[in-house]
Amino acid sequence: EPEVTQTPSHQVTQMGQEVILRCVPISNHLYFYWYRQILGQKVEFLVSFYNNEISEKSEIFDDQFSVERPDGSNFTLKIRSTKLEDSAMYFCASSEVAGGLSAEQFFGPGTRLTVL
């Protein structure tokens, strides 16, 4: 069964460093998303991406964040200068469409980011 994969599973970094989190969405999906979950809190939307453009972003997704689809399979989230409060689980998700009858979003296993 197709699934979303993410690497690395755990990333430890120093405050101020750049990190890139990687995702491989399900191959026939066209919409890609990043969410984060701070320990003990709810899953929060960061950004949606379609047709090589950001479609929608939350207030969390500030200038320190960027997303890219560098090739036909990978989808990345870059945090330019990490802060302590960026420590969280980051989930990638993908869907065939953005709304309607086939809008199911499938999530990857997540990358745990620890900022020291």
The count of C-alpha atoms lying within 13 angstroms of the C-alpha of 109, restricted to the half-sphere facing its C-beta, is: 7
Beta carbon nearer to other proteins, 55 or 74: 55
Which residue stretch of 60-68, 69-77, 79-87, 95-103 sits at the interface with other proteins (rule: CB under 8 A)?
Answer: 95-103
Q: Which of 83, 86, 67, 66 shows the shortest CA–CA distance to 75?
A: 67
CB of 38: closest distance to other proteins in angstroms?
A: 12
Q: Does 42 bind other proteins (CB under 8 A)?
A: yes
Q: For residues 58-87, which are near other proteins according to CB under 8 A?
A: 58
Position 38: which residue type? I
